[in-house]
Amino acid sequence: MNGYLQINGVTKRFGDFTALEKVDLSVEKGEFVTFLGPSGSGKTTTLMIMAGFEKATHGDVLIEGRSISRLAPHERNIGIVFQNYALFPHKTAAENVYFPLQMRGVGKADGLRRAKEMLDLVGLSGMAERYPKELSGGQQQRVALARALVFEPSLLLLDEPLGALDKNLREQMQIEIKRIQRTLGVTTIFVTHDQSEAMSMSDRIVVFEKGRIEQAATPLDIYHRPKTKFVAGFVGESNLVPAKVSDAAAGVAVSPALGPCDFEPAEGISAGDDLTLLIRPEHIRLSRQPLEGRQNASMLVDTIVNYGDNALVIGRVGDLPMRVRVLGADVVVIREGENCCISWPPEAVFAIPDLPGR
């Protein structure tokens, strides 16, 4: 299947070091795709290759079926916003936004009019004549966004654009960027290492690790149906339970700590396979007595971290570390140093086959 944007077998080596290994990705027109992954996993390098600031060692990038790999950055019609947005200090907001139009030969009157329309769209009506130093960090970032969008790019690349903003402003800008992206329908790649940002903004999340794509899927699939242990551990909080399949058709695996555990049977899982069972902390309940209709285990509580409306309970079942996220009411039944019952429904258990070398 060929998407609007196509990354085909892109490998990038810096000397002996392989930063990207055969990355393939297909993105639909208008999609908002987030690259998520730890530091050094290859997100920015992939973006730089798309933008034309780095050259792939192998592979190709295509937009609407045409290779852009040989084009210079300014010939690619791509809008880019970085964390340090680098506005021209001696130009007003409107002149900054007009700049890419000026480079494309658009006359001043028409260009400034379009720049002001774009400033309106990013919520900066009335600030067109201000200089960057007269704008807050969030406002400057909006100018940078307007400048990246004003020439109607084929693709918008955002590299940690909210990294420098404080938490509240960051959340506000997440909503704004999503709104603007939807309004314009511009195909967008957003780089972040903040998983909640990726969860809340994306149509699809691409999880990078060590220069490879671990999984590309919707936020809900990434969270509930992670393909690898890495994705399960990196996105959200998780209990990862090593187990061996005893009955593949019925979906039963035996964990040394928890005993036989039911899981949703899935294709490609056979009796005798080693796998990892994922149980999210918020799917586990705490109680004094075992609860009926659920799988139960006894947990020794080591630490309770209170967050007001919820608490994280950290403990052990035998040698197996367990984390349980509980809402206020359940916390009162337990104390640090005591044993309690933990329980979960079978459908809360997701099986992840162990892949060789991962």
Q: Residues interacting with ligand ATP, by CB under 6 A? A: 14, 17, 19, 37, 39-45, 193, 208
Residue 108: phi and psi, rounded to 5, are -65, -45
Taking the complex as a whole, how short is the minimal distance between the CB of residue 297 and ligand ATP, in angstroms? 37
Q: Which is nearer to ligand ATP, 83 or 287 (CB)?
A: 83
- Beta pairing partners, 305: 312
Taking the complex as a whole, how short is the minimal distance between the CB of residue 237 and ligand ATP, in angstroms? 21
- Beta pairing partners, 349: 279
Q: Which is nearer to ligand ATP, 193 or 323 (CB)?
A: 193
Taking the complex as a whole, how short is the minimal distance between the CB of residue 43 and ligand ATP, in angstroms? 4
Backbone CA torsion sign across 85, 171, 25, 211: positive
Reduced to 3 states (helix: H, G, I; strand: E, B; else coil), residue 289 is coil
Q: Which is nearer to ligand ATP, 39 or 270 (CB)?
A: 39
User: Distance (Å, rounded) from C-alpha 166 to C-alpha 137?
Assistant: 10
Q: Which is nearer to ligand ATP, 13 or 224 (CB)?
A: 13
| Pairing, β 252-255 against β 239-247 | antiparallel
Residues near 93 by beta carbon (within 8 Å), at least 6 away in sequence: 119, 124, 127, 128, 129, 130, 131, 132, 135, 143, 146
Taking the complex as a whole, how short is the minimal distance between the CB of residue 155 and ligand ATP, in angstroms? 18
Taking the complex as a whole, how short is the minimal distance between the CB of residue 38 and ligand ATP, in angstroms? 7
Taking the complex as a whole, how short is the minimal distance between the CB of residue 199 and ligand ATP, in angstroms? 17
Q: Which is nearer to ligand ATP, 208 or 344 (CB)?
A: 208
* HSE, side-chain direction, 13 A CA sphere, residue 290: 7
User: Distance (Å, rounded) from C-alpha 4 to C-alpha 187?
Assistant: 9
User: Distance (Å, rounded) from C-alpha 254 to C-alpha 267?
Assistant: 18
Taking the complex as a whole, how short is the minimal distance between the CB of residue 66 and ligand ATP, in angstroms? 25
Taking the complex as a whole, how short is the minimal distance between the CB of residue 11 and ligand ATP, in angstroms? 12
> Count of CB atoms within 10 A of residue 167's CB?
8
| Pairing, β 58-63 against β 295-306 | unpaired
Counted residue by residue, the chain has a size of 358
| Nearest CA among 313, 319, 306 for reference residue 340 | 313
Taking the complex as a whole, how short is the minimal distance between the CB of residue 354 and ligand ATP, in angstroms? 25
* HSE, side-chain direction, 13 A CA sphere, residue 121: 23
User: Distance (Å, rounded) from C-alpha 287 to C-alpha 15?
Assistant: 56
Q: Which is nearer to ligand ATP, 205 or 351 (CB)?
A: 205
Q: Output b/e per residue, 119-139; b: 16+ Cβ within 10 A.
A: bebbbbeebbebebeebeebb
Q: Which two tokens stand for residue 232?
A: 């399960």
Q: Which is nearer to ligand ATP, 10 or 299 (CB)?
A: 10
Q: Which is nearer to ligand ATP, 141 or 343 (CB)?
A: 141
Q: Which is nearer to ligand ATP, 42 or 226 (CB)?
A: 42
